[in-house]
Copies of this chain bind each other. A is one copy, B any other.
């Protein structure tokens, strides 16, 4: 930026009392109203954090060095900043803000780092895990809209670990995809398949984020769960992202019509202490036993482990209406008049 091209508002004499307004003033040259607002809030909170903690120079450089390490361990296959965001509860918060869910609609959760684009399309009843050490599990689900109407032909991406708590991509010598599949819901909104009962596993904790967890005396475990990603034109989209691992694939794809969720197995030892805060009561399920009728219908022995769930998807319109409403409420509380531009709130200064 050529300084002669910009009319910078002069700063006042800087003190701890006015540095914040001075920084915001100089940033207010930004022509992107949304970015200007985000930066204003960022600078406010960053400064208030330092002021309220009386942050020392030593703590400040320790923090910056930590962030540097987080950046430096990151790579195409390891996203330590996403991991940091996850363990601080920011990821699940942003998901909740971006994908608000009314009562009755299936809640979202964090994606985790282990989604790939390799999964094979399978047909109803297929076996998606070849791990013979796992406990066989029958999964039978339905997909409905907010009015209870079945949604057919939804593309469903499903993935889980093997019985040792590792995803296929974490095994360097793997032959191909395993523990993952793509299915499509039928005319009744039903999809069903055979899998294994999920087990808990730790998030990657050999880097700076793992060290932070250790200092906080927190464990790195996620409770047992199975991932689902739903995709259909017109239904709430989700921008998928991945946690990181030196062994995992990182994905960052804008799947315009996918909704992400996961089911958690009840009574897991980490059910109430998920390292990345992904568990929601409505997503916790019991593993049941197949009745005689289920046994006949799905071709499994009587008493076979079974997981059932009825997913309820919102349309894009329903989601964005709710998101706008909650944005207006939140900014109202801040005392801002608000306008929504491209789905995001900015203060209305006109």
Contact = CB atoms under 8 A, between A and B. Distances in A.
A337 interface: no
Q: Please tell me how many copies of the chain the complex holds.
A: 2
Q: Is the interface of A mostly helix, strand, loop or mixed?
A: helix
Interface string A82-106: 1001001111111111100000000
A90 B219 contact: no
A14 B22 CA distance: 37
Interface size on A, as a range, is 35 or more
A216 B133 CA distance: 56
A192 B39 CA distance: 44
A81 to B, nearest CB: 4
A74 B58 CA distance: 19
A98 B52 contact: no
A251 B124 CA distance: 63
Interface in A3-58: 3, 6, 8, 10-11, 13-16, 19-20, 22-23, 26-27, 29-32, 35, 37-39, 41-43, 45-58
Given A55-B97, A64-B81, A64-B82, A280 B14 contact: yes
Nearest to A24: B89
A22 B252 CA distance: 28
A42 B280 CA distance: 24
Nearest to A323: B54
Contact of A57 (B60, B241, B334): B241
A50 B220 CA distance: 24
B215 A30 contact: yes
Given A29-B217, A272-B11, A89 B55 contact: no
Nearest to A270: B3
Nearest to A8: B273
A11 B239 CA distance: 26
Interface string A181-216: 000000000000000000000000000000001111
Contacts of A35: 215-216
A149 to B, nearest CB: 27
A27 B61 contact: no
Nearest to A91: B60
B8 A218 contact: yes
A90 to B, nearest CB: 6
Interface of A: 1-3, 6, 8, 10-11, 13-16, 19-20, 22-23, 26-27, 29-32, 35, 37-39, 41-43, 45-61, 64-65, 67-72, 74, 79, 81-82, 85, 88-98, 213-221, 238-239, 241, 252, 269-270, 272-274, 277, 279-282, 323, 326-327, 330-331, 334, 343-345
